[in-house]
Structure 1
């Protein structure tokens, strides 16, 4: 038996082995183990707020929040809902109703402003004093009462901007009927 160190053994080994320059072909098979790198993705939920939340948003806002914040805070308190197609459709319909109502209120205010323009001036009689002075003054409530008596419309006295009236003469009052509609009304004050 030859030892590994003997030259005959090395010769036999070198004759049976192929040189390193030749390429060895492996069989085409799928690997047993596949390593996939997984990155941790941020878990974000699209939600709709059910009420105003400071530093987050107002009712009806569409937001992206972290899943944990939604699951642990917003959902148990009933402050938000996960966005669904049906919910978005419902919100759009509700927004359309709100816009239609706002437009109706604005149109009504514009119509009332036109009525005030066609009337001209409201006449107010007060007990007179010396010269042009009157006893007391004409207030916003007096104007509201006159409007109700003449055109049968209720007007809130908070929307009336009236200058201080303590003398006879002609004055202009402004009625803020809508944030975008202001009516100007003339008042003629007479002394009895």
Structure 2
């Protein structure tokens, strides 16, 4: 009976020992695989370089962009061509400072545009004079350059005509112009178009303009009469009156 018990115990011990040995072997293999993977990753990392592009590079990136590139590509192409440089802690610090400076400048420019917009919108209506005819009609129109000149004269501020948007203007009245002072800031200003009477046409001239075909025939007859010498200038004046 004791012999049977001993035999069972020995068998169990051998089985446990085998399992322990197998587990240990598998653990060792897993550790070896992890170590091998780490070594490969480190070798691969050593073949890459973190760079900043100094100019736009086709199919790679834009100027100022950070990226990882193969060491050979950097060494043999980007570096000799002056297209990129290795990123260092010092360079990263400089880049951060430059980014902060640019953001501060953008904020300042936007605030100035907002302040200028408030000035434009509270100054009241600008006045634009144009030669005009009867009623509300004006000769010509009002251009962005016209409005830019008026702003310069009244506020002593230069405004680029390219940022001014105007509606179509063919008669006197009040209009609204838009000034794109900043991508995020648009000023709306009011201006009033008034007319000055232009040279007045005499009655015969106005009649000719109103009925050009009728007077064209008369003029041809009068021209023939003048050529033949049978019509005087007094007769011509009376005909046009």
Q: TM-score, normalised by structure 1?
A: 0.78
Runs of 4+ in 1 over 2 A off after TM superposition: 36-42
Structure 1: give runs of 5+ residues left out of the alignment.
Answer: 1-35
**How far does residue 55 in structure 1 lie from its aligned partner after superposition?**
2.5
User: 1:124, CA displacement in angstroms?
Assistant: 0.7
Query: Post-superposition shift, 1:130?
Result: 2.4
Correspondence list, 1:1-192, <5 A: 39=40, 41-42=43-44, 43-192=47-196
Deviations 1:153-191 (A, max 9, x none): 101000001112121011111000000000001111011
Structure with more relative contact order (C-alpha pairs < 8 Å, separation 6 or more):
1
Question: C-alpha separation between the residues in 2 aligned to 1:187 and 1:81?
Answer: 55
Equivalent residue of 2:80, what SS?
A: helix
- Higher share in strand: 1
Residue aligned with 1:188, SS: strand
Distance, in Å, in 1 between the alignment partners of 2:131 and 2:40 is 87
Aligned partners of 1:133 and 1:77: how far apart in 2? 65
3-state SS of paired residue (1:130):
coil
C-alpha distance in structure 1 between counterparts of 2:56 and 2:76, whole Å? 18
TM-score under structure 2 normalisation? Answer: 0.62
CA RMSD, Structure 1 to Structure 2 (Å) = 1.6
Unpaired segments of 5 or more residues in structure 2? 1-34, 197-241
Take 1:44 and 1:60, find their aligned partners in 2: how far apart are those partners?
Answer: 18
How many pairs are equivalent? 157
